[in-house]
Amino acid sequence: MINKIFPCLWFDDQAKAAADFYCSIFMESKIVSENPMVVIFELNETKFMALNGGPQYKFSPANSYVVTCDTQEEIDHYWKKLGDGGTYNRCGWLEDKFGVSWQIVPSILGELMNDPEKAPRVMYAFMQMTKFDIEKLRNAAEPV
């Protein structure tokens, strides 16, 4: 038996609005089921539960969702859409209008950071960024 593990996002009373918002941003997305308390939805084949649980708990950056992007266009899309009405932070982090934290990260970052020669230059470059810029990261990886 394989256990299915997926996140449950606790909202005050905005579960449906949040699920609709996220499904409007991710191309491969859908609402799977809904009732007044719970909405099950999928984003790029990843299942989520949105719960109308009341005001007891709030989101924090201690729990964030990473979106890896192959192109600058993808980064720009997710950055703009997820950040609309929210707060933009450094190093590819943003908080959406519901308070959920996201990291919009280029897929090439892991490869660049795993090279001990390139990693310090790349890290210095991305520490200066709010939204990631793939071209600047590639340029930073090159020796001076």
Domain 1-57 matches domain 59-144 at the CATH topology level: yes
For 36, the 3-state DSSP assignment is coil
pLDDT at 143: 83
Question: Per residue in 67-117, pLDDT tens?
Answer: 999 999 999 999 999 999 999 999 999 999 999 999 999 999 999 999 999
pLDDT at 4: 87
What CATH fold (topology level) applies to the domain 59-144?
2,3-Dihydroxybiphenyl 1,2-Dioxygenase; domain 1 (3.10.180)
pLDDT at 134 exceeding the cut of 70: yes
Quote the CA–CA distance of 70 and 77 in Å, as a whole number: 12
pLDDT top residue among 53 and 143: 53
For 111, the 3-state DSSP assignment is helix
Q: Cβ(78)–Cβ(86) under 8 Å?
A: no
Q: Which CATH superfamily is domain 1-57 in?
A: 2,3-Dihydroxybiphenyl 1,2-Dioxygenase, domain 1 (3.10.180.10)
Question: Per residue in 44-57, pLDDT tens?
Answer: 999 999 999 999 99
Domain boundaries, the chain: 1-57, 59-144
Supply the mean pLDDT for the chain: 95
pTM of the model: 0.93
